Amino acid sequence: MERIFIFDTTLRDGEQSPGASLEVSQKIKIAKQLAKLGVDIIEAGFPITSDGDFEAVRLIAQEVEGPIICGLARALPEDINRAAEAVKYAKRPRIHVFLATSEIHRKYKLNKAKEEIIRLAVEGVKHAKGYIEDIEFSPEDASRTEPDFLYAVIEAIINAGATTVNIPDTVGYAIPEEFGSLIRNIIANVPNISKAVLSVHCHNDLGLATANSLAAIAAGARQVECTINGIGERAGNAAMEEIVMAINTRKDLFGFTTGIDTTQIHKISRLVSYSTGMVVQPNKAIIGANAFAHEAGIHQDGVLKEKTTYEIMTPESIGLKENRLVLGKLSGRHAFTVRLQDMRYELNEDELNRAFISFKAMADKKREITDSDIEAIVSDELQTIGETYKLEKVQIICGTPGITPVATVAIKNQTGEIIEKTADGDGPIDAIGKAIGAIVGISLKLVNFSVQSVSGGTDAVGEINIRLEADGRLFAGRGIDTDIVVASAKAYVNAVNKMIVSREQ
Ligand SMILES: [Zn+2]
């Protein structure tokens, strides 16, 4: 069976989701997991945009083995130089050069004529080719570009040395049949197209990113660009898990294969959700909490008699196991470590120590610790790296009638000093936010707050995701605890720590 190449851009396009910014250490963790998942190419970032982005791409190129490591660049020498510098340590580096080609972009954004666009695109590819062999080129807003001009651009950049040509539906405007035709027409009208891999990059503004990507594959595209959980600019990118599971489930129709180990899908989905603070909607295809839940009596009855009556994929195929009761208060460090190994987590000594302390604290409050709880603990450890502030204490008074919510919060700073403040607010969460804001000296504006239960039961672990606004940017924070008030305070502190890192950068 023919192979479809999976190009993951979670760390580049995905990170462009509002509030989803990731620290370098988080990016490396995600990249390592992407390698385990089996993606063919990791687009690790856009090196020219910031020192942090450059550093992340450079470290991923050095440390992550397996996939091709790619850096994005505009068709400008300084962009390309920076991208080349960042990816050069990878065993298999790639530079991805892009330049807009549609009339709207030429006229309003670039103010350049067609000939000028072709010249710049060719120069960009040639410049990148001076560093490495593997060059991808994207005519940005391709789906809204005049077809004849698009063919001319593609022919020219392949002649200049591009080895992958990516056709982006940058604004999510295309409709599947139309997008499939575009791909077929490119193959029919670009004489040297067989010298490059044809790729697509679809956005989800009309909810059609996956459909458009699949239509493109059926029409002859052999690389798909996508993100975990479909995160990305605006309504997001095509979701990796949807494309891969569609190709797998409908092998009969597509006749293609990918290099993805689908049993790793659930794990990477959770990791990306935890790290970015982008909560997955319950009804999201493949990875939503309800994706394998059967509610209607007739459906339940059918599934009990024969799974395939209402199940086209198994939960196990994406690595979802039934929630086993594993550990409790009496479980020791060895049992905890073994369970982590079973769940295929690789923690270093320091991370393991902290995770074990969290585990013991949770086991004091909660009788049975499930895999989901352990997953929550580990993900919490993964994102507390490099923390400036640490929550020491939180206490609230609230209720009816007519009681003003008051929060007292104590936080330990980098020098080990514990600062305590009390504040009132419109509600307990508001009061916590104001107290923390007073401690760190930043006015914190809460724009989003959500609470979820990690596992079932009255002693379930609560997961709080928040978004704070500061410096004109959004910062996601996440906290877990059996007490949602404590989890809320942890989420605030987590978001504040990200803010501090961002200010330092
Ligand atoms: Zn994009």
Mean pLDDT throughout 405-414? 94
- pTM reported for the whole predicted model: 0.86
Mean pLDDT throughout 251-263? 97
Please state whether beta strands 256-257 and 2-3 pair in parallel, antiparallel, or not at all (unpaired).
parallel
Backbone φ and ψ of 201, nearest 5°? -140, 100
**Distance from the CA of 233 to the center of ligand 1, in angstroms?**
7
334 assigned binding-site residue: no
Closest CA to 43 of 99, 77, 83, 82: 83
Rounded to whole angstroms, how far apart are CA atoms 199 and 213? Answer: 9
Rounded to whole angstroms, how far apart are CA atoms 369 and 460? Answer: 9
Mean pLDDT throughout 482-496? 93
pLDDT-derived band at 410 (thresholds 50, 70, 90) equals: very high
Mean pLDDT throughout 249-264? 97
pLDDT-derived band at 382 (thresholds 50, 70, 90) equals: low
Considering only the C-alpha atoms of the chain, give the largest distance between any 2 of them, rounded to a whole number of Å: 77
Rounded to whole angstroms, how far apart are CA atoms 101 and 39? Answer: 28
252 assigned binding-site residue: no
Write the single-letter amino acid at 250. R
Average model confidence (pLDDT) across the chain = 92
364 assigned binding-site residue: no
pLDDT-derived band at 491 (thresholds 50, 70, 90) equals: very high
**Distance from the CA of 442 to the center of ligand 1, in angstroms?**
33
CATH topology of domain 390-504: Double Stranded RNA Binding Domain (3.30.160)
Residue 434's pLDDT is 96
Please state whether beta strands 418-424 and 473-481 pair in parallel, antiparallel, or not at all (unpaired).
unpaired
Residue 296's pLDDT is 78
**Distance from the CA of 164 to the center of ligand 1, in angstroms?**
16
* pLDDT of 225 above 90: yes
Least confident window among 76-90, 182-196, 230-244, 401-415? 401-415
Q: How many CA atoms lie within 13 A of 3 on its CB side?
A: 10
What are the structural domain ranges in the chain? 2-276, 294-319, 325-383, 390-504
Mean pLDDT throughout 258-265? 97
**Distance from the CA of 503 to the center of ligand 1, in angstroms?**
26
Q: What percent of the chain has pLDDT over 70?
A: 98
Nearby residues of 77 by Cβ (< 8 Å), 6 or more positions away:
127
Neighbouring CB atoms inside 10 A of 321's CB total 12
Position with higher pLDDT, 125 vs 343: 125
Neighbouring CB atoms inside 10 A of 210's CB total 24
**Distance from the CA of 232 to the center of ligand 1, in angstroms?**
7
Cβ–Cβ < 8 Å for 133, 163: yes
**Distance from the CA of 26 to the center of ligand 1, in angstroms?**
21
**Residue 279 DSSP class:** P
* pLDDT of 359 above 80: yes
Burial of 120 (0-12, 13-18, 19+ CB in 10 A): middle
**Distance from the CA of 116 to the center of ligand 1, in angstroms?**
23
Residue 385's pLDDT is 55
**Distance from the CA of 225 to the center of ligand 1, in angstroms?**
9
**Distance from the CA of 9 to the center of ligand 1, in angstroms?**
8
Strands (E), 425-497: 445-453, 462-470, 473-481
Highest mean pLDDT among 136-145, 340-349, 358-367: 136-145
201 assigned binding-site residue: yes
**Distance from the CA of 501 to the center of ligand 1, in angstroms?**
26
pLDDT in tens, 37-63: 999 999 999 999 999 999 999 999 999
pLDDT in tens, 103-161: 999 999 999 999 999 999 999 999 999 999 999 999 999 999 999 999 999 999 999 99
Q: How many CA atoms lie within 13 A of 141 on its CB side?
A: 15
Position with higher pLDDT, 496 vs 325: 496
Cβ–Cβ < 8 Å for 224, 7: yes
* pLDDT of 325 above 60: no
**Distance from the CA of 229 to the center of ligand 1, in angstroms?**
14
Mean pLDDT throughout 365-372? 81
Rounded to whole angstroms, how far apart are CA atoms 303 and 313? Answer: 12
Burial of 330 (0-12, 13-18, 19+ CB in 10 A): exposed
* pLDDT of 459 above 80: no
Residue 18's pLDDT is 79
Start-end of H helices in 277-427: 297-305, 333-342, 349-365, 371-383
**Distance from the CA of 186 to the center of ligand 1, in angstroms?**
20
Please state whether beta strands 368-370 and 93-100 pair in parallel, antiparallel, or not at all (unpaired).
unpaired
Nearby residues of 472 by Cβ (< 8 Å), 6 or more positions away:
none
Least confident window among 88-102, 103-117, 321-335? 321-335
Residue 274's pLDDT is 86
**Distance from the CA of 230 to the center of ligand 1, in angstroms?**
11
**Distance from the CA of 168 to the center of ligand 1, in angstroms?**
7
Least confident window among 115-124, 178-187, 240-249, 480-489? 480-489
**Distance from the CA of 141 to the center of ligand 1, in angstroms?**
10
In the beta sheet, which residues pair with residue 227?
A: 239
Residue 501's pLDDT is 79
Position with higher pLDDT, 83 vs 291: 83
Q: How many CA atoms lie within 13 A of 343 on its CB side?
A: 27
Rounded to whole angstroms, how far apart are CA atoms 270 and 351? Answer: 18
Distances in Å between the Cα of 411 and the Cα atoms of 391, 424, 469, 475 are 5, 17, 20, 19
DSSP assignments along 61-125, one per residue: HHH--SSEEEEEEESSHHHHHHHHHHHTTSSSEEEEEEEE-SHHIIIIII---HHHHHHHHHHHH
Residue 189's pLDDT is 98
Position with higher pLDDT, 229 vs 323: 229
Closest CA to 47 of 67, 74, 25: 74
Structure tokens at 136: 């991808």
* pLDDT of 295 above 80: no
Residue 121's pLDDT is 98
- Counting DSSP H helices and E strands in the chain, the numbers are 17, 18
> What sign for the dihedral angle of Cα 270, 275, 280, 286?
negative
Could you tell me how far CA 415 lies from the centroid of its own chain? 33
Least confident window among 216-225, 356-365, 374-383, 408-417? 374-383
Cβ–Cβ < 8 Å for 216, 179: yes
Mean pLDDT throughout 268-281? 90
Rounded to whole angstroms, how far apart are CA atoms 486 and 432? Answer: 10
Rounded to whole angstroms, how far apart are CA atoms 53 and 414? Answer: 25
**Distance from the CA of 462 to the center of ligand 1, in angstroms?**
33
Q: Which CATH class is domain 2-276?
A: alpha beta
pLDDT in tens, 31-40: 999 999 999 9
Position with higher pLDDT, 135 vs 463: 135
**Distance from the CA of 39 to the center of ligand 1, in angstroms?**
18
